[in-house]
């Protein structure tokens, strides 16, 4: 059983849902990234999603794109990110998954990338620009190393294709709440609950919702129908806007932001 499978098994036994924050690796630097991950887990996050900076991200809105640009301008490299995680993950009682472009995986080679990710303690990979129909080489490499390959289903995904994607996914399904890019939103589409409920009837995999979730009322509305919720842009924006503050204050601000979200999980 993979680390992610074990996590969702434990959460189901406890009657809880997963809270999964996203941050960008290396924004503003890797030392602070490690401190943010520690803070998020200490506050009660079930799993953390770490974005690997890429010059041409897929589906990411302006907040996350800007964070990738800042990290790349500071010459943050994949090797340094993996080294940081290798030191950090043994002390974290929650899995870390990466959001990574397939261009990065392909450049290193699926076998080498997955082996390096596992050595760094990474539990899963979300590869948004890799079509499920072309994912078999990476899926095979992930299976051999015990790394979950998490794939995305959107509101525009035809149901017959959603079933094929679910069959080729491990860990959990990432359900994209809106047709569009990441970013904070005032309201989320009312059909999310129906779509996720249908998907959960078709697969034993956990279904987690991301994109647009940023407020306690979003969490209260969606937690009953999902296995987990992903919050990203709102945290990344707070890190960007706090560049003038002492780092200890930024960590407190992040904790104060996520605490009501965690409380709303029920």
Give the residue numbers annotated as catalytic, written as ranges. 49, 60
What secondary structure does DSSP assign to 79-94, as a single string? HHHHHHHHHHGGG-SS
Residue 48 contacts residue 212 (beta carbons within 8 Å): no
CA angle 173, 178, 183 (to 5 degrees): 100
The four Cα atoms 67, 241, 27, 171 give a dihedral, to 10 degrees, of -70
What SS3 state is found at 48?
strand
Residues 6+ apart with CB under 8 A from 145: 114, 115, 117, 118
**Beta bridge partner(s), residue 228:** 18, 208
Measured distance CA(79)–CA(177) in Å, rounded: 32
SS3 assignment for 156-178: CCCHHHHHHHHHCCCCCEEEECC
Q: Please report the beta strands in the chain, taking only residues with DSSP state E, as ranges in sequence order.
A: 18-24, 48-51, 96-99, 124-126, 148-150, 152-153, 173-176, 207-210, 228-231
Measured distance CA(92)–CA(87) in Å, rounded: 10
What SS3 state is found at 41?
helix
């Amino acid at each position: 059983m993979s680390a992610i499978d074990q996590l969702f098994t434990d959460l189901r036994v406890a009657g809880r849902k997963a809270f999964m924050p996203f941050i960008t690796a290396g924004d503003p630097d890797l030392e602070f990234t490690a401190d943010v991950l520690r803070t998020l887990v200490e506050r009660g996050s079930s799993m953390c999603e770490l974005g690997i900076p890429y010059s041409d991200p897929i589906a990411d809105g302006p907040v996350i794109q800007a964070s990738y640009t800042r990290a790349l301008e500071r010459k943050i490299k994949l090797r340094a990110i993996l080294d940081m995680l290798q030191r950090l993950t043994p002390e974290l009682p929650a899995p870390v998954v990466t959001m990574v472009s397939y261009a990065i995986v392909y450049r290193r080679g699926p076998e080498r990338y997955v082996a390096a990710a596992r050595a760094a303690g990474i539990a899963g990979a979300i590869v948004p620009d890799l079509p499920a129909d072309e994912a078999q080489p990476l899926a095979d490499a992930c299976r051999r190393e015990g790394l979950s390959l998490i794939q995305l289903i959107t509101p525009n995904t035809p149901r017959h294709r959603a079933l094929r994607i679910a069959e080729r996914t491990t860990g959990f399904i990432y359900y994209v709440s809106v047709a569009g890019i990441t970013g904070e939103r005032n309201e989320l589409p009312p059909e999310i609950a129906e779509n996720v409920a249908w998907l959960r009837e078709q697969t034993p995999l956990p279904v987690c919702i991301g994109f647009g979730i940023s407020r306690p009322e979003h969490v209260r509305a969606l937690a009953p129908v999902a296995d987990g919720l992903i919050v990203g842009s709102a945290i990344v924006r707070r890190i960007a806007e706090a560049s003038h503050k002492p780092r200890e204050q930024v960590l407190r601000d992040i904790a104060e932001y996520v605490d009501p979200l965690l409380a709303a999980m029920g």
